[in-house]
């Protein structure tokens, strides 16, 4: 029986650590370029680029400059803040003045709809002509062709949603920063995996027609979420988002303490549990099984080695640790040219990352969510019941 469990764990490890990143790599390097090669013409859609901003970090102004200098003519850029005195307002005004592009919108607050989601709704309501609404977090520093790449798939009339990811550039060595970098890499890999509809809220777009027909605005109101609610709509209509690897943008914002990273990641798990329960449960089970499997394999190998023999179990334990290490390198491989953390960190950090993810996803069972200085409580349908 023990041997059967060990074999099952090795199979799970192979699927998560090797086959999933390999499938993503194939999509990034082969499938996506071929798909775009079959789509004739250049995109000319009018685009409403929405940039929710809150606070003014060290990198904000350069990020906003990169966003404002997009090489796309049919573009309206809306920088959105909750209040008129937000620290982001001054950098926004400087960028608008320097580039001659973009406008600033003060969204205000609206009951139980959290800031970023409300900002997106206000910016979408302010637009009467764009065919595509594109969300870009202010921590991203996209290339000049970012908008063009994100909307290129819409040349295919069957496409309603595109998404991309971020690539964390840690400020320096440190377990928290490196773990955050690895988690970001896993998220981007998951976008390319493709078997599960997944949209990352920091960088996605939706065709105007779909936004209206699917009543996305109505679904977003009263919640703290945008992307996972959209995932449910895609599943309902049996569609998948198009992941755009060419639009994956660097982010220089990073968590520098494990405590801060854990708070952020627990909130991600709570959001998934509320709005995408099946995927949260799947990840919880997989990460827990990975942790228990790694610990069990070590215990079995130690028992055999203590008895003075090197059995297949000891070999399986070695393979159990090697596969996540190889998996970390495979996640990095499609973006080998990006400077982030040493390759040895990509190999070693995933071993810690499995335990970190499992703990945070178990803590996500907590029904109360910490959102900045607020505590949110939710109804069964995922809408916010109270804020304190």
How do the pLDDT tens digits run along the chain, 388 residues long? 667 777 888 899 999 999 999 999 999 999 999 998 887 778 889 999 999 999 988 899 999 999 999 999 999 999 999 999 999 999 999 999 999 999 999 999 888 898 899 999 999 999 999 999 999 999 999 999 999 999 999 999 999 999 999 999 999 999 999 999 999 999 999 999 989 999 999 999 999 999 999 999 999 999 999 999 999 999 999 999 999 999 999 999 989 899 999 999 999 999 999 999 999 999 999 999 999 988 888 887 777 777 766 677 777 788 888 999 999 999 999 999 999 999 999 999 999 999 999 999 999 999 999 888 889 999 999 999 999 8
Residue after which a domain boundary falls, among 264, 290, 314? 264
CATH number for the domain that contains residue 232? 3.90.550.10
Count of domains forming the chain = 2
In a domain, 54, yes or no: yes
CA distance 36 to 150: 12
The pLDDT assigned to 1 comes to 62
Helices (H), 205-249: 208-213, 216-220, 227-236
Is the same domain home to 80 and 113?
yes
Is the same domain home to 114 and 239?
yes
Q: Are 104 and 180 in contact (CB under 8 A)?
A: no
Q: Return phi, psi of residue 100, to 5°.
A: 70, 25
What is this structure's pTM?
0.93
In a domain, 269, yes or no: no
Q: Are 317 and 304 in contact (CB under 8 A)?
A: no
In a domain, 258, yes or no: yes
Q: Are 99 and 65 in contact (CB under 8 A)?
A: yes
Cα Rg of the chain (Å, integer): 22
Is the same domain home to 342 and 238?
no
Is the same domain home to 49 and 134?
yes
**215 Cβ contact partners less than 8 Å away, ≥ 6 residues apart:** none
CA-closest candidate to residue 272, choices 256, 263, 284, 262? 284
Q: How far is CA 59 from the centre of its chain?
A: 20
Is the same domain home to 75 and 164?
yes
pLDDT tens by residue, 288-347? 999 998 888 888 777 777 776 667 777 778 888 899 999 999 999 999 999 999 999 999
Is the same domain home to 233 and 290?
no
CA distance 236 to 250: 32
Q: Are 339 and 169 in contact (CB under 8 A)?
A: yes
- How many residues are given for the chain? 388
Q: Measured at the alpha carbon of residue 72, what is the angle toward residues 162 and 104, in degrees to the nearest 5?
A: 85
Is the same domain home to 310 and 185?
no
Is the same domain home to 198 and 329?
no
CA distance 388 to 314: 52
The pLDDT assigned to 222 comes to 95
Report the C-alpha dihedral over residues 179, 357, 343, 335, rounded to 10 degrees: -100
Is the same domain home to 52 and 147?
yes
In a domain, 34, yes or no: no
**76 Cβ contact partners less than 8 Å away, ≥ 6 residues apart:** 46, 47, 48, 49, 103, 127, 130
pLDDT tens by residue, 220-247? 999 999 999 999 999 999 999 999 999 9
Q: Return phi, psi of residue 139, to 5°.
A: -90, -5
Range of the domain at 241: 40-264
In a domain, 272, yes or no: no
Report the C-alpha dihedral over residues 58, 123, 157, 165, rounded to 10 degrees: 20
Q: Are 325 and 354 in contact (CB under 8 A)?
A: no
Q: How far is CA 11 from the centre of its chain?
A: 26
Is the same domain home to 258 and 289?
no
Is the same domain home to 114 and 259?
yes
Is the same domain home to 324 and 294?
yes
Residue 324 has which token pair?
A: 């996540």
In a domain, 112, yes or no: yes
User: How does 110-135 read in b/e, with b if 16+ C-beta sit within 10 Å?
Assistant: eebbbbbbbbbbbbbeebeebbbbbb
């Amino acid at each position: 029986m023990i041997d059967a469990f060990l074999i099952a764990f090795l199979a799970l490890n192979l699927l998560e650590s090797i086959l999933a990143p390999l499938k993503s790599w194939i999509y990034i390097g082969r499938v996506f370029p071929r798909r775009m090669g079959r789509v004739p013409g250049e995109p000319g859609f009018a685009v409403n680029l929405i940039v929710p901003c809150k606070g003014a970090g060290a990198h904000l102004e350069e990020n906003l400059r990169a966003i404002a200098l997009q090489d796309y003519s049919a573009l309206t850029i809306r920088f959105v803040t909750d209040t008129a005195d937000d620290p982001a307002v001054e950098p926004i005004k400087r960028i608008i003045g320097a580039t001659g592009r973009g406008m600033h919108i003060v969204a205000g607050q609206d009951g139980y709809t959290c800031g970023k989601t409300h900002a997106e709704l206000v910016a979408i309501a302010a637009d009467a002509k764009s065919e595509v609404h594109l969300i870009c977090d202010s921590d991203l520093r996209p290339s000049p062709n970012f908008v063009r790449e994100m909307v290129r798939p819409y040349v295919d009339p069957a496409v309603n949603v595109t998404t991309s990811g971020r690539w964390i550039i840690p400020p320096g060595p440190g377990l928290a920063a490196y773990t955050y970098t690895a988690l970001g890499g896993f998220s981007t890999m998951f976008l390319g995996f493709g078997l599960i509809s997944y949209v990352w809220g920091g960088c996605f777009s939706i065709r105007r027609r779909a936004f209206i027909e699917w009543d996305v605005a109505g679904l977003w109101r009263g919640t703290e979420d945008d992307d996972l609610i959209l995932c449910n709509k895609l599943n309902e209509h049996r569609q998948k988002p198009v992941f755009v690897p060419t639009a994956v943008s660097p982010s220089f914002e990073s968590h520098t303490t494990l405590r801060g990273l854990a708070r952020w990641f627990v909130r991600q798990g709570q959001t998934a549990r509320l709005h995408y329960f099946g995927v949260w449960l799947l990840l919880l089970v997989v990460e827990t099984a990975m942790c228990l499997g790694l610990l069990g394999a070590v215990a079995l190998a130690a028992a055999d080695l203590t008895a003075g023999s090197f059995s297949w179990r000891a070999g399986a334990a070695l393979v159990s640790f090697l596969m996540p290490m190889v998996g970390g390198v495979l996640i990095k491989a499609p973006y080998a040219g990006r400077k982030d953390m040493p390759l040895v960190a990509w190999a070693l950090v995933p071993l810690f990352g499995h335990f970190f993810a499992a703990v945070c996803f178990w803590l996500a069972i907590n029904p109360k969510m910490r959102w900045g200085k607020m505590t949110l409580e939710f109804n069964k349908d995922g809408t916010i019941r109270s804020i304190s």
